[in-house]
Amino acid sequence: MVLGFKALPQCYACGDGAEVLYQTGRLDGKDGDYARLARRLMETSQFVIDTMAPDAFTPEGRGLIVAAKIRLIHAAIRFYLKARKIAVNGTAISQTYLAGTLMAFSALTLQGLSQMEMTPSPAETDGYIHCWRIVGHVVGLRAELLPENYEQATALGTQIFDMELKSSDAGKELTKALLLFYGDMIPGKSFDIVAADLMRFFLGTHIANVLAVQDSASGDFVTLLFRFFGKLLNFAESHSGKFRSLFEKYTPLYMQAMLNYMNPAKQVYFDIPPSLKENWKIGS
């Protein structure tokens, strides 16, 4: 939830990076067609699950494989934009862009848990940051852009997002598509409002306004409700070894089952995006 309502839209608020995503057709959902968007969101979610799994970065680990594939996809996108002479401000998927995304998925995600009154232990925090350092290394980030701890990661992420923050049509369209996807996933107009409220809660007013996320009168209530839920879950996990054991055992299974249910293809291959295949006239 934090990745979907905080990390991804935080990246969309970086106007130049959002333009690259939009130009390659990886996360748009044009004309109400969300099959491609769903596939990309499932790909991102599967990437997180695979890289956070036990033994993910052993020689045969799934995390190592998918992170290497993501690096290849990034290289293909850079080549495509250059070959097609599609203008972007600076290098597409640059070191700064990669570092910002990594901080969104690591330090800023931990910030989101804190916003929900869920506080990981120091050991959990250190382990999570270290795991993303490994991810960063595999996808090609330079060593000086791989923070050693949560404080360094938070400082780097804040610096990058402050520097890259820019309103853009691409960022607004990507955010709109993401919210509409959530609305289609859970039918009912009321959830459409809740989804926007959650995004405003996690992002803060300024960034939410940059992305044109709708405000509503129910925002404070939604915030209180999810903070209460987070605090309750944190208390149960901290005070009940049995609950924690069950939670650790079954949460990964639940997450994978949910992804399989929401992904029409039932499989994520981390291949060259279909939009690039079409433009390059590459066969399947």
Contact (CB, 8 A) for 274 and 36: yes
Alpha carbon dihedral 129, 133, 138, 144, in 10-degree steps, equals 150
**Angle (nearest 5°) at CA 14 between 223 and 47:** 75
Model confidence pLDDT, tens digit, residues 79-115: 877 777 665 655 667 888 899 999 999 999 999 998 9
Model confidence pLDDT, tens digit, residues 63-72: 998 999 889 8
Q: What percent of the chain has pLDDT over 90?
A: 32
CB-CB neighbours of 280 under 10 Å? 14
Given a cut of 50, is residue 284 above it in pLDDT? no
What SS3 state is found at 279? helix
Contact (CB, 8 A) for 8 and 42: no
CA distances 49 to 120, 209, 247, Å, are 18, 30, 15
Structure tokens at 123: 């050991």
**Angle (nearest 5°) at CA 251 between 246 and 257:** 135
Encode 225-238: b = buried (16+ Cβ within 10 Å), e = exposed: ebeeebeeebeeee
Given a cut of 70, is residue 280 above it in pLDDT? no
pTM of the model: 0.79
Contact (CB, 8 A) for 172 and 212: yes
**Mean pLDDT, all residues of the chain:** 81
Encode 1-10: b = buried (16+ Cβ within 10 Å), e = exposed: ebbbbbbbbb
What SS3 state is found at 149? coil
Q: Which pLDDT does position 273 carry in this prediction?
A: 56
Structure tokens at 61: 């680990």
- Selected residue with higher pLDDT from 267 and 1: 1
Q: Which pLDDT does position 232 carry in this prediction?
A: 83
Model confidence pLDDT, tens digit, residues 181-202: 787 776 666 667 888 888 999 9
